Amino acid sequence: MIRMKLAPLWAASAILLGGLPAAASQDRPNVLLITVDDMNADLGCYGHPLVKSPNIDRLAARGVRFDRAYCQFPLCNPSRVSFLTGLRPDTTRVFDLQTDFRKSTMPDVVTLPQLFMKAGYFTARVGKIFHYGVPGDIGTNGLDDAASWNQRFNPSGRDRTEQDKLKILSPVKRIGSSMTVLEAEGKDEEQTDGMTATRAISLMEEHAGKPFFIAAGFFRPHCPYIAPKAYFEPYPLDKITMPSEPPGHLDTLLPATKGSTVPYPYFGVTPDTAREAKRAYYATISFADAQVGRLLDALDRLKLSDRTIVVFLSDHGYHLAEHGLWMKQSLFEESARVPLIIAAPGKTKGKGKMSPRTVELLDLYPTLAGLAGLKPPANLQGASLEPLLANPSAEWKRPAFVQVSRNDFSGHSVRTERWRYIEWDNGKRGTELYDEVADPHEFHNLANDPAQARVVEELRALIRKNWPAGSPSNEGPGTPEGNARVKKAA
C-alpha cells in the first residue's frame, strides 16, 4: 500500500514546491546512486552463466534492467562528466583523464547532484563518483566537484597499502592498467570499497529523516584486481574460458579499431595468465556486488526502500580479450555497453522486467530530475527514461551515440536496436557496420556490403546530425600530445 501512495505524493510535492524549492519536502524521494568502475554486463541478471551477482540481481528484480544501455565515451573521466552533467563529451570537451570540467570547460554547469542540492536535498559523495585515478588517487578527491556535494568522503583501505603483495601477471608493471591480482586477507570492511559502503550506510542512517542524494562510488572491478579470498572461490580456474573467434578475425580489424587501451596480446600475457586475470575480474565483481547488498540491506533495515530511488550503473564496459582487446576505449559492444538498473518505488511499474530499448547514461540526469519533480537545466542532451520505467517495451526511437579518441582523431558510433555503425576520422580511416541481431559478437563488418548501402546511408546521417562538421571531436579532440595521455588509462 505504501508503494501505491508514493507516486501522487511526489507529484503533489512538485506542484506545491515548484522546480527548485528552498527546502526539500519530506515527501520527496531519496536517491541512492551506486556506481562501479570498469564493469561490463557479465552479471547474473544479464544472463551470465558463471558470474555471481545476487545483490545486483535483487535490485534488478525491484526495478527495470536496461539491456541496451551505453556510455557516451568508454573512459572514466569523459563518461562520468557526461552523465553527471547530462551533456555529451563534445559539449563538455572532456576527452581525457586530466581535464577538470569545472576549472577549464564548464565552470557554471549545474551537475546532477548539484540540482538536488539546490532543491534542498542533502547530497554526499563517498568514493569514486567523478573521476580519480586507480590506485594512485585512492583516498583523495581526485577530479571531484566540490560544488556538487554537502559532504564528501575519500575512504582508503588495505588494497591501497598492500600493493606490494600484488601478483603481476604481465610484463607491464603499471598496476593501474595492467593485469595484477591479489587474493586479499581480511574483511570486506577493510577494503576501500567496503569502507565506502560503511560510510554510505552511516550517512543514510544520519539523514533518514530528510530527502537525500547519496552517491556511493565503488571502483571495483577496476584493476588491480583485488578482493578478499572468499570471492575467488566460486571461480575455479578450469571454469574460466576465453572468447573464441573466427579464424583470421583479428587480421580483419581496422588499425583504428585495434587502437584501444590494450590490444592483443594484452600486455604480453599468456592464455593461462589471461584466464587468471579474468577469474580475478569476476571475483572483484562479486566483491562489489556484496557491497551493493550491504546498501540494499541498510535501506530495508531503515525502512527507506519504499521511498528511495536506487540507480546502479557502470561508467563504461570492459573487454576480456574479445577481438583481442583488454579493458576499454573501443567502440565494440563489450566496451560501450553498460549495466544500468533503475528502481523507483511507485514509478517502476515494469519492475523486474528488462527493457530492450537503446538508452544512454546521458538519460540518467533528466530521469532522476523528473522522478523527483525537479526542473532540470534546459540544455540537457538526454531524455527521461520515465516512460520505460512504466512500460519497459514502450515505443522509443532514440539511438545511442558513443565516441572515443585516438592520438589525433576520433571514432564515432551510433547504436540502434539492430545496428551499430562506426566511423573513424569521419570515415577516412575506415567504417564498420554490424548487424547486432544476426552477429551479436560483431565479427562481420558489413560496411562495404552493397546490400547494406541504404542502412549505411541512414546511419551515417545520424552520425552527421549528432557530430556536425566542426564539432570538437571532428576537429580532433585536442593536441596529439594531449590525446596521447588518453591512452594512459587510470
Catalytic (active-site) positions: 76, 131
Say what the alpha-carbon torsion angle 320, 46, 313, 174 is, to the nearest 10 degrees: -10
Helical pair 54-62 and 271-301, crossing angle rounded to 10 deg: 50
- Contacts of residue 438, defined as CB under 8 A and 6 or more positions apart, other chains included, come to none
The DSSP line for 422-471 is EEETTTTT-EEEEETTT-TT-----TT-GGGHHHHHHHHHHHHHHS-TT-
Say how far residue 135 (Cα) sits from the centre of its chain. 18
- Cell triple for 374: 525537479
CA atoms within 13 A of residue 384's CA, in its CB half-sphere: 18
Query: Residue 141's CB: how many other CB atoms inside 10 A?
Result: 14
Q: How far apart are CA 313 and CA 489, in angstroms?
A: 20
SS3 55: helix
Q: How far apart are CA 297 and CA 320, in angstroms?
A: 31
Q: Residue type for 400, please? A: A
**335 phi/psi in degrees, rounded to 5:** -90, -40
SS3 214: strand
Nearest to 375 by CA among 26, 72, 110, 6: 110
**196 phi/psi in degrees, rounded to 5:** -60, -45
Q: Residue type for 294, please? A: R
> Are 489 and 261 spatial neighbours (Cβ–Cβ below 8 Å)?
yes
SS3 473: coil
Say what the alpha-carbon torsion angle 463, 466, 469, 471 is, to the nearest 10 degrees: -130
**14 phi/psi in degrees, rounded to 5:** -65, -40
- Contacts of residue 128, defined as CB under 8 A and 6 or more positions apart, other chains included, come to 35, 37, 134, 142, 217, 218, 219
Q: How far apart are CA 353 and CA 59, in angstroms?
A: 11
- Cell triple for 404: 572515443
Q: Is the dihedral of CA 272, 276, 278, 279 positive or negative?
A: positive
Q: What number of residues does the chain have?
A: 490
